[in-house]
């Protein structure tokens, strides 16, 4: 998710910029867009594009350095590579990376287009992962969440909207709202606001979605970046709104007038992929095997407030850390996992209708 966080656990250093969500599957089929040239290093190195900043720092200590310690292979980071660039690289038979960190919605699109190597689960321990995290063509590596946050000068934990139904009932809970100005996540939240049960969320009831959005449109402020979502809440410009949990963690920790809940959160995740035509597929799979180890995922969660996808990692974390993670046994009880395959299959229609509503 775009700019999902630069707010993480106290011992992680500052500075991450998250990328934008794929704006419809059409973006993945763009032609003539080639990846930035990556200098292919010697065979004792691997190139792993990722989102950079604090996320890369957490990857480094949890996954990169541990893989180097096992194999002697040094991991070289590189700028984030999106779907169009992966497609161009594969189509040109010019794959010059080994593994890539990518949003799991973008991974689903790449898998649908046949641009990824299948995961070799003879090397990667599939059973170590949550079932939904072990896709045939990508590994889901960590879990963040879209949450409801509020300015504590407008609401308390007791008076804030209880669930998305009250969020979309401005008469019952007066105040300025904020939402992400993009269809994914926002449409799921609007459907939940219409009273649709989490287990009946997909396919999205579009009439119900836009009926919810219509109800709060006069009192709605849009945000377009993670930084803006937090700023709107901490400044009091809005009273209650959505944000990614990583964006609200540090302001709350630092004493800003903001709080948030994991109730009815939407899980949004990172994935790792291996582009089709990679030079050393076996070594790429060995890297992924190291990534899914419980001890390594626990180290990752200690450096940034994103949850592991290997459930055994929770047994290695203390209560204070688990309290910050979206998918901990306590926090994840009412959460909804975003159905990225649904977005990969229907993204064009959904984006078109949402964008039409925006200007209507």
Q: Could you state, in order of their start, the residue ranges of all structural domains in the chain?
A: 25-143+269-329, 145-267+339-359
321-333 burial, b at 16+ Cβ within 10 Å, e below that, comes to bbebbbbbeebbe
What pLDDT is recorded for position 3?
Answer: 52
Average pLDDT over residues 147-162: 97
User: Residue 344's closest CA among 111, 127, 45, 85?
Assistant: 111
What pLDDT is recorded for position 23?
Answer: 42
Going from the C-alpha of 209 to that of each of 12, 24, 162, 268, 354, the distances in angstroms are 38, 18, 19, 19, 10
- Asked if domains 25-143+269-329 and 145-267+339-359 share a fold, the reply is yes
State the pLDDT confidence band at 100, using cuts at 50, 70 and 90.
Answer: very high
Which letter does DSSP use for residue 13 in this model?
P
User: Residue 344's closest CA among 118, 24, 1?
Assistant: 24
Please work out, in degrees rounded to the nearest 5, the angle formed at the alpha carbon of residue 326 by the alpha carbons of 83 and 204: 60
Report the chain's terminal Cα–Cα distance, integer Å: 26
State the pLDDT confidence band at 213, using cuts at 50, 70 and 90.
Answer: very high
Higher pLDDT, 356 or 360: 356
What pLDDT is recorded for position 116?
Answer: 98
**Per-residue pLDDT tens digits for 237-279:** 999 999 999 999 999 999 999 999 999 999 999 999 999 999 9
In this model, does residue 299 exceed pLDDT 80? yes
In this model, does residue 13 exceed pLDDT 50? no
What pLDDT is recorded for position 146?
Answer: 97
- To the nearest whole number, what is the mean pLDDT of the chain? 90
Query: Rg of the chain's alpha carbons, rounded to an integer?
Result: 20
* CATH architecture for segment(s) 25-143+269-329: 3-Layer(aba) Sandwich (3.40)
CATH 3.40.50.880 fits 145-267+339-359, yes or no: no
What pLDDT is recorded for position 7?
Answer: 36
In this model, does residue 41 exceed pLDDT 70? no
What pLDDT is recorded for position 4?
Answer: 55
What pLDDT is recorded for position 53?
Answer: 87
């Amino acid at each position: 998710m775009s700019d999902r966080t630069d707010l993480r656990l106290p011992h992680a250093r500052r500075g991450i910029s998250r990328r934008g969500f794929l704006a419809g599957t059409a973006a993945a089929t763009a032609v003539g867009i080639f990846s930035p040239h990556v200098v292919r290093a010697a065979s004792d190195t691997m190139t792993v594009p990722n989102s950079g900043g604090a996320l890369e720092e957490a990857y480094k200590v949890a996954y990169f350095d541990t893989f180097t310690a096992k194999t002697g292979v040094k991991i070289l980071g590189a700028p984030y590579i999106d779907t169009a660039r992966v497609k161009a690289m594969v189509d040109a038979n010019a794959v010059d990376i080994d593994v890539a960190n990518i949003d799991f919605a973008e991974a689903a699109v790449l898998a649908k287009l046949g641009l990824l190597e299948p995961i070799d689960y003879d090397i990667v321990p599939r059973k170590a992962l949550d079932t939904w995290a072990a896709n045939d063509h990508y590994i889901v590596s960590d879990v963040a969440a879209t949450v409801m946050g509020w300015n504590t000068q407008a609401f308390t934990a007791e008076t804030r909207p209880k669930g998305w139904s009250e969020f979309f009932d401005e008469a019952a809970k007066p105040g300025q709202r904020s939402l992400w100005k993009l269809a994914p996540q926002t449409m799921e939240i609007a459907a939940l606001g219409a009273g649709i049960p989490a287990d009946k969320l997909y396919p999205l009831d579009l009439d119900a979605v836009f009926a919810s959005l219509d109800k709060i449109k006069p009192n709605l402020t849009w945000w377009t970046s993670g930084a803006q979502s937090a700023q709107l809440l901490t400044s009091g410009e809005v009273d209650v709104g959505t944000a990614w949990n990583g964006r609200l963690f540090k302001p709350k920790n630092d004493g800003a007038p903001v709080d948030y809940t994991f109730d009815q959160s939407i899980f949004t995740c990172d994935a790792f992929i291996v582009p089709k035509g990679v030079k050393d597929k076996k070594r790429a799979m060995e890297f992924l095997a190291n990534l899914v180890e419980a001890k390594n995922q626990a180290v990752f969660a200690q450096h940034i407030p994103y949850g592991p996808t290997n459930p055994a990692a929770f047994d290695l974390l203390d209560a204070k850390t688990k309290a910050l993670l979206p998918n901990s046994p306590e926090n994840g009880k009412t959460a909804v996992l975003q159905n990225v395959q649904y977005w990969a299959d229907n993204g064009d229609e959904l984006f078109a209708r949402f964008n039409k509503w925006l200007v209507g």
